[in-house]
Amino acid sequence: MSTAGSEGTLPRSGGHLVWDWNGTLLDDAAAVIAATTAAFSEAGISLTVSGESYRRNFTRPIRLFYERLLGRPISPEEWVRLDHAFHDRYRLLSEGCRLTAGAMEALELVRGWGWTQSLCSMLPEQLLLPAVEGHGVGGYFVRVDGLRGGERGGTKLGHLVAHLERLGVAAARTVMIGDTVDDAVAAGGAGVDCVLLDGGGGLHSSDALAGAGVPVVATLAEAMALLLPPAG
């Protein structure tokens, strides 16, 4: 386990845990890569996206990520086509995805501590809510927030701040688990602790995650060990 930025445990008493969905609780890297390639194809752009090229270029907002993949600016019309094409294909491909190894055990363990849990995702809610229920984990969360309306592909900070305000939880007793540098930046901006998951087969550079200034773990079990409340 690597812990970039801090060492040891992050104890909480009566804490709250905010989960990310894609790449954290849901193991969907292959679906995301395939949907990204398909989106370019459906927009009339010939570009095959590999795991390596995805990790090398990934950033938010997603429009900038697409421009980095292409090596040129994209027009507003291209962005709309790419965004809709991605989500249409991802919706189909994600049906075959499974929860990340150890996800159910982690959710149950946190519940056993007496913590509350919520889910804050950048996935549109029309895709997120059915997925959460379909995987049988909806009952673990006191709130689930995805993107609504025309929100697409931006950074997570504002979304996370709004999520925490709706919950009314104390930042000092809140931890977020995600899998991107943007998750760490959002958590820092919102004043909550963060742990990043880097399982080695994801979509984000290990070097970038290690430089995010927060603990980075290889498994959800390791994340739980960092969050373990003090005995007694």
Q: Is 17 exposed, middle or buried (0-12, 13-18, 19+ CB in 10 A)?
A: buried
Position with higher pLDDT, 8 vs 109: 109
Q: Residue 59: its pLDDT value, please?
A: 86
The residue type of 216 is: V
What would the pLDDT profile of 57-102 be if each residue is shown by its tens digit? 988 889 999 999 999 999 999 999 999 999 999 999 999 999 999 9
Written in H, E and C, the secondary structure of the chain is CEECCCCCCCCCCCCEEEECCECCCEECHHHHHHHHHHHHHHCCCCCCCCHHHHHHHCCCCHHHHHHHHHCCCCCHHHHHHHHHHHHHHHHHHHHHCEECCCHHHHHHHHHHHCCEEEEEEEEEHHHHHHHHHHCCCHHHCCEEEEECCCCCCCCCHHHHHHHHHHHCCCHHHEEEEECCHHHHHHHHHHCCEEEEECCCCCCCCHHHHHCCCCEEECCHHHHHHHHCCCCC
Query: What pLDDT, in 10s, does the model give residues 209-230?
Result: 999 999 999 999 999 999 875 5
Model pLDDT for residues 1-57, shown as the tens digit of each residue: 333 333 334 545 579 999 999 999 999 999 999 999 999 999 899 898 998 999 899
- Comparing CA positions, the residue from 58, 100, 109, 94 lying closest to residue 224 is 109
Residue whose structure tokens are 């959460």: 132
β-bridge mates for residue 116, sequence order = 16
Nearest to 86 by CA among 34, 143, 29: 34
Q: Kindly report the pTM of this predicted structure.
A: 0.89
- 13-17, 108-112, 178-182: least confidently modelled range: 13-17
Q: Which residues contact 109 (CB under 8 A, 6 or more apart)?
A: 224
Longest Cα–Cα distance in the chain: 61
Nearest to 19 by CA among 160, 159, 178: 178
169's tokens: 């939880």
